[in-house]
């Protein structure tokens, strides 16, 4: 029975769930434009890992690793407590990440008026393209304003070397 449980589908049920959740989470982060949905995806993704850790500390028929007194305590099989402790830490980390991410989304919404990544990137691209055009023009202007000959003159009149240097 035990063999059956651990090595067949039902016994690995937790791990299948882990994989499915992980895929869902990862897919959501990749595929969704909405920043909040991305965060949700990220949370699902992280949660799958939490379940993964908890599952590996599991012993068939065991109980939560809370010390029991008396006879029950003597006979009880406890789940491995260490992964659970670890995951407590990881949950805290995940929580902070989510909080920070949400705070960023609020700020992004204030700054861009949207929380769709495409919109934001489009705004950035547009701005970036404008800026790079502006920079190109500035470069061209700066070049044109130089005290010197045109591009194709290969003797390049020597000008004004005596200009003061400060």
Partner 1 sequence: MTDWPSDLLGHPLLSPALLMIVGGFVLAASPRQVHGVWLLAIPAAALALLWQLPLGLHGEISLFGFDLTMLRIDGLSRIWATIFLIGSFLSGLYALHVRDRIQHVASLIYAGAAIGAVLAGDLVTLFIFWEGTAISSVFLIWARRTVRAHIVGLRYLVIQVTSGLLLMVGTIIHYRATGSIAFNHLGLETAGGWLIFLAFGIKAAFPLLHNWVQDAYPEATVTGTVVLSIFTTKLAIYSLARGYAGTELLITVGAVMTIFPIFFAVIENDLRRVLAYSLNNQLGFMVVGIGIGTNLAINGAAAHAFAHILYKGLLFMSMGAVLHRVGTVKASELGGLYKSMPWTAAFCIVGSMSISAFPLFSGFVTKSMILTAAAEQHHWIAWTALLLASAGVLDHSGIKVPFFSFFHHDVGWRVKEAPLNMLLAMGAAAFLCIGIGVYPAPLYAILPFAVDYSAYSTAHVINQLQLLLFAALAFVVLFRNGWYPAEIRGLNLDSDWVYRHALPAMAARIHRALVATREHARAKLGRLGSGSYGWLKSHYGSTGALSRTWTTGVMLLWAGVLLALYLVIYY
Partner 2 sequence: MIVQLFHQMPVLVVILPLMAAPLCVIAHRALPAWLIHTAVSWVVFGISFLLFVETRVAGRVVYALGGWAPPFGIELVIDRFSAIVLLLVTGMSALTSLYARASIAAELPRERAYLVYAAMLLCLCGLVGMTVTGDAFNLFVFLEVSSLASYSLIAMGPSRRALLSSFQYLIMGTVGGTFLLIGIGFLYVMTGTLNMADIAQRLQGVAHTHTVEAGLAFIVVGLSLKAALFPLHAWLPNAYTYAPSSVSVFIAATSTKVAVYALIRFVFTVFGADLAFDSLPLGDVLIVLSVAAMLSGSLAAIFQTDVKRLLAWSSVAQMGYIVLGFALATGAGLTAALTHMVNHGLIKGALFMAVGAMFWRMQACSINDIAGLGKRMPWTCAAFVVGGLSLIGFPGTAGFISKWVLLQALMVDHHWLLAAAILVSSLLAVIYIGRVVESLYFREPAEGRKVARGEAPALMLVATWTLVALNIAVGLFGAAEVDATRQAAMSLLGVGQ
DSSP three-state, residue 12: coil
Q: From the list partner 2, partner 1, none, pick the one residue 9 interacts with, judged by a Cβ distance below 5 to 8 Å according to partner type.
A: none
Contact between 42 and 29 under an 8 Å Cβ cutoff? The reply is: yes
Among partner 2, partner 1, none, residue 108 binds (CB under 5-8 Å by kind): partner 2
Told to check if 128 binds partner 1 by CB under 8 A, we report: yes
Q: Which residues contact 158 (CB under 8 A, 6 or more apart)?
A: none
Residues facing 63 on adjacent strands: 78
Q: What is the dihedral of CA 118, 119, 120, 126, to 10 degrees?
A: 100
Q: Among the residues of the chain, which ranges form H helices? A: 2-7, 13-31, 35-56, 70-75, 81-112, 117-144
Among the listed residues 73, 121, 127, 137, the single contact to partner 1 using CB under 8 A: 121
User: x-or-dash pattern for partner 1, window 9-28, by CB under 8 A?
Assistant: -----------------x--
Q: What residue 86 binds from partner 2, partner 1, none (CB within 5 to 8 A, per partner kind)?
A: partner 2
CB 34 → partner 2: shortest distance, Å? 12
| Minimum distance, C-beta of residue 77 to partner 2, in the bound complex (Å) | 17
Q: Which is nearer to partner 1, 18 or 38 (CB)?
A: 38
């Amino acid at each position: 029975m035990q063999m059956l449980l651990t090595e067949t589908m039902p016994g690995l049920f937790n791990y299948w769930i882990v994989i499915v959740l992980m895929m869902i989470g990862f897919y959501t982060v990749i595929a969704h434009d909405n920043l909040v949905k991305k965060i949700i995806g990220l949370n699902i993704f992280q949660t799958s890992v939490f379940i993964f850790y908890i599952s590996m500390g599991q012993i068939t028929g065991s109980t939560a690793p809370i010390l029991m007194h008396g006879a029950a305590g003597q006979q009880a099989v406890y789940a491995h407590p260490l992964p659970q402790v670890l995951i407590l830490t990881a949950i805290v980390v995940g929580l902070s990440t989510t909080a920070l991410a949400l705070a960023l989304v609020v700020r992004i919404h204030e700054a861009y008026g949207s929380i769709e990544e495409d919109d934001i990137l489009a705004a950035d691209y547009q701005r970036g393209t404008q800026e790079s055009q502006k920079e190109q023009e500035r470069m061209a202007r700066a070049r044109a304003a130089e005290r010197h000959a045109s591009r194709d003159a290969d003797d390049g009149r020597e000008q004004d070397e005596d200009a003061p240097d400060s």
